[in-house]
Amino acid sequence: MKLQHLLTLGLLIAFCTSCLGDRQTIIGQDLGDTSFVNKKFKGNLIDYKEGMSACDKMSATLLAEKYGVVEDAIIITDPTKSERYVNPKPGCMIHVKMSDQKFDHLTGTINVFREIKSNEYMADVAEATGSGENWEEAWALKKSMRKSSEWVLDMGQAAIWTAKLRKLEIKFEGYTLEIIAPGAPFNDIEKAKNRDYKSIAIAIAKSAGFVN
């Protein structure tokens, strides 16, 4: 990967994280270390295809158990199953209603981002952000830029959990799965519950059929 691509990504992440207090320097870190790549990976359980659903296998019952609500309080919106959307990308929105009050709900998402091939338009940008064919260095950089990021072992080709964003990213052959566990970062009542969002995000990935 070209140095300028890494620097561009680094500046972008630094800008985005500075306001969240989750930024850390990459000076002295070995961005060429790819030991995080899962050598036990045996292939996708779900392959990417245009028009695919990201959540048609996902269980609302599981989410209801995780959040201590009734199943009817879980609302999963899949754009690929609705005529309201034109050529939707694979992804779903998750709402967890915590009470009958209009704005008392938690929100999360599932998104599937296709890998950009080296001969496609914007391939250089894709490679720099970790969504290209040569993704390893960009993922090492992405993980190193946030204090709350950690590797999740033995999941996909590689996986990063970023606690500050309640975000799980899993690299598969041909695409990246991104899950934001339902939450409300500015809701003090929700924050006081200290939920294990990491285990929730992993449970969502398993329920949706992407990992065992």
Task: Please report whether residue 27 resides in a domain.
Answer: no
Task: Please report whether residue 150 resides in a domain.
Answer: yes
Task: Please report whether residue 30 resides in a domain.
Answer: no
C-alpha span between 180 and 205 (Å, rounded): 10
Give the residue among 46, 9, 24 at the shortest CA–CA distance from 150: 24
Indicate the number of domains in the chain: 1
Task: Please report whether residue 88 resides in a domain.
Answer: yes
Q: Which amino acid makes up residue 78?
A: D
**pLDDT at residue 29, rounded to an integer:** 59
Task: Please report whether residue 104 resides in a domain.
Answer: yes
Range of the domain at 171: 3-21+35-207
Task: Please report whether residue 63 resides in a domain.
Answer: yes
**pLDDT at residue 21, rounded to an integer:** 73
**pLDDT at residue 25, rounded to an integer:** 60
Give the residue among 125, 166, 159, 138 at the shortest CA–CA distance from 20: 166
Q: Spell out the per-residue pLDDT of the chain, length 212, in tens.
A: 444 454 444 545 444 444 457 767 655 555 678 899 999 999 999 999 999 999 999 999 999 999 999 999 999 999 999 888 888 899 999 999 999 888 899 999 999 999 999 899 989 998 888 999 999 999 999 999 999 999 999 999 999 999 999 999 999 999 999 999 999 999 999 999 999 999 999 999 999 999 99
**pLDDT at residue 76, rounded to an integer:** 96
Chain centroid, CA 104 distance in Å: 24
| DSSP class per residue in 3-42 | HHHHHHHHHHHHHHHHTTT-B---TT--TT--TTS-TT--
Cα atoms in the Cβ-side hemisphere of radius 13 Å centred on 191 = 8
C-alpha span between 99 and 67 (Å, rounded): 12
